[in-house]
A = this chain, B = another copy of it.
Amino acid sequence: MLRWKTVAIVGVGLIGGSIGLALRKRGLARDTIGVGRRPENLRTAKSLGAVTATSQSIDEGVADADLVIVCTPVAEIVNHVLQAAAAAPECAILTDAGSTKESIVKTVDAELGRKNRFVGSHPLAGSEKTGVANARADLFEGRVVVVTPSRKTNPEHLTAVADFWSGLGATVLLMSPAEHDKALATTSHLPHLIASAAARETSQAELPLTAGGWRDLTRIAASDPELWTQILWENRGHVLKSLSRFEKTVAAFRTALEQGDRRKLRKLLTEGKEVRDAVGN
Contact = CB atoms under 8 A, between A and B. Distances in A.
Interface string A192-227: 111111111111111111111111111111110110
A199 B146 contact: no
B278 A204 contact: yes
A143 interface: yes
A92 to B, nearest CB: 29
Interface in A115-136: 124-128
A18 to B, nearest CB: 14
Given A229-B265, A272-B221, A213 B126 contact: yes
A77 B217 CA distance: 27
A170 to B, nearest CB: 12
A279 interface: yes
Q: Which applies to chain A's interface (DSSP): helix, strand, loop or mixed?
A: helix
B201 A269 contact: no
A217 B215 contact: no
Q: State the oligomeric state as a number of copies.
A: 2
Contact of A220 (B194, B217, B220, B245): B217
A216 B226 contact: no
B198 A246 contact: yes
A232 B265 contact: yes
A272 B197 contact: yes
Nearest to A236: B257
Interface of A: 124-128, 143-144, 146, 173, 183-184, 186-188, 190-223, 225-226, 228-229, 232-233, 236, 239-240, 242-243, 245-247, 249-251, 253-254, 257-258, 260, 262, 265-266, 268-273, 275-279, 281
Contact of A219 (B183, B204, B216, B278): B216
A122 to B, nearest CB: 9
A144 B243 contact: no
A275 B200 contact: yes
Contacts of A223: 273
A261 to B, nearest CB: 10
Contacts of A209: 124, 144, 146, 173, 183-184, 187-188
A221 B126 contact: no
A232 B190 CA distance: 24
Nearest to A256: B232
Contacts of A202: 186-187, 275
A233 B276 contact: no
Contacts of A276: 195-196, 199, 218-219, 221-222
B262 A253 contact: no
